[in-house]
């Protein structure tokens, strides 16, 4: 083997090693460092949310007029983009705990946690509240969303209210299937009569080729003054 070939092979080997190291570092960043970034953001947003809820003036709410019944839930105020405004619980997913929801689904918003599409319904409202979150990287809040089954509960916590949604089903769609986010999914122009929740994430894991859509419907509204909803009892 002449010197030119030997030199060429040595250079090729060094190049492949360099590429391998770069790919490895990229994987470590994507799968580990981004999780740390989001964990810190979640801590910061959670503290901010708790302070805001504690400091916000609470308006008087009239009774329901029915003895033994709690007062009606207060409406959720429209949050500013990038702000935390609610917590998300998935009690059927052991170890999930909760995630702070942010308003907005831009690239920077989703680095902080799962986001709410601003043009969609707010928690508890009639219409379709749409959430989006990463399935890998940046905390991967929806990593296990394929494990949710019909009948499972997902709970949204706002300042005064627990909103319990019951999973109705899931499906895989193309990234262009924006009709699932309509007030009445797949029915343009239809007037909503139910409070729905649609949660979207990438599918399969480590790919953005498709979208996993998990659908739910509001099944209970519980003022926080009466304690946790049944879905979170013992959680």
Query: Over 80: is that where the pLDDT of 143 sits?
Result: yes
- Give the whole-number percent of the chain exceeding pLDDT 70: 77
Domains of the chain are 38-54+81-232 (2.40.260.10)
Rounded CA-CA distance 227/230 in Å is 9
Confidence of residue 73 (pLDDT cuts 50, 70, 90): low
Query: Over 60: is that where the pLDDT of 187 sits?
Result: yes
Question: Who wins on pLDDT, 8 or 144?
Answer: 144
pLDDT tens-digit profile of 15-63?
544 444 333 434 444 455 678 889 899 999 999 999 999 986 654 443 3
User: Residue 100: is it exposed, middle or buried by C-beta count within 10 angstroms (0-12/13-18/19+)?
Assistant: buried
The average pLDDT across 67-92 equals 76
Rounded CA-CA distance 199/32 in Å is 24
Q: Which residues are catalytic?
A: 202
Ranges 3-17, 96-110, 170-184: which has the least confidence: 3-17
Rounded CA-CA distance 97/178 in Å is 29
């Amino acid at each position: 083997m002449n010197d030119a070939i030997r030199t060429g092979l040595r250079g090729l080997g060094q190049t492949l090693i360099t590429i391998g190291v770069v790919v490895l570092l990229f994987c470590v960043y994507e799968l580990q460092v981004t999780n740390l970034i989001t964990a810190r953001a979640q801590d910061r947003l959670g503290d901010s949310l708790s302070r805001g809820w504690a400091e916000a003036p609470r308006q008087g709410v009239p009774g329901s007029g029915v003895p033994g019944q709690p007062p009606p839930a207060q409406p959720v105020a429209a949050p500013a983009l990038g702000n935390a405004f609610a917590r998300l619980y998935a009690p059927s997913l052991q170890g999930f705990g909760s995630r702070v929801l942010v308003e907005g689904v831009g690239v920077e918003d989703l680095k902080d946690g799962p986001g709410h599409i601003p043009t969609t319904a707010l928690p508890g409202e009639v219409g379709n509240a749409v959430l989006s979150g990463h399935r890998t990287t940046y905390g991967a809040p929806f990593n296990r969303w394929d494990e949710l089954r019909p009948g499972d509960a997902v709970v949204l916590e706002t300042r005064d209210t627990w909103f319990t949604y019951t999973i109705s089903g899931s499906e895989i769609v193309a990234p262009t299937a924006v009709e699932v986010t309509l007030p009445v999914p797949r029915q343009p122009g239809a007037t909503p009569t139910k409070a729905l929740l649609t949660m979207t994430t990438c599918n399969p894991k480590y790919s953005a080729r498709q979208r996993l859509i998990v659908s739910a419907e509001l099944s209970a509204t519980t003022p926080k003054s009466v304690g946790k909803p049944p879905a979170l009892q013992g959680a």
